[in-house]
Amino acid sequence: MVEGNHYFPVGSLNMEYLTASDHTMICSWKGAANYCHLNVDDAPKNNAAWFYANPKDAAANIKDRVAFGKGISVV
């Protein structure tokens, strides 16, 4: 858990529900975040998940992990 967000190992997710987004954000201590859209229940949720492909050293523990936005239940 980082900054109130649970980060899940990529290998534990069913990637068929995620599609890449062009949206990115920069965090001063984690680095560049890449976003994905979540496609479930015929109601796509844009930019609902994110990951840091090349996190800064201070955030190395979230490499190869994905977090989800508020209101998303991971089961």
More confident residue, 74 or 39: 39
| pLDDT category of residue 41 using cuts at 50, 70 and 90 | confident
pLDDT surpasses 90 at 66 = yes
What is the count of structural domains for the chain? Answer: 1
pLDDT at 43: 83
**DSSP reduced 3-state for 54:** coil
30: domain CATH number is 2.170.150.40
Residue 75 in domain: no
Closest by CA position to 38, among listed 12, 67, 60: 67
- List of residues 6+ apart from 48 with CB closer than 8 A: 36, 37, 38, 68, 69, 72
Residue 38 in domain: yes
pLDDT at 42: 83
Residue 73 in domain: no
The conformation of residue 5, written as its DSSP 8-state character, comes to B
> What is the pTM for the complete model shown?
0.93
Query: How long a stretch of residues is the chain?
Result: 75
Residue type, 68: F
Residue 74 in domain: no
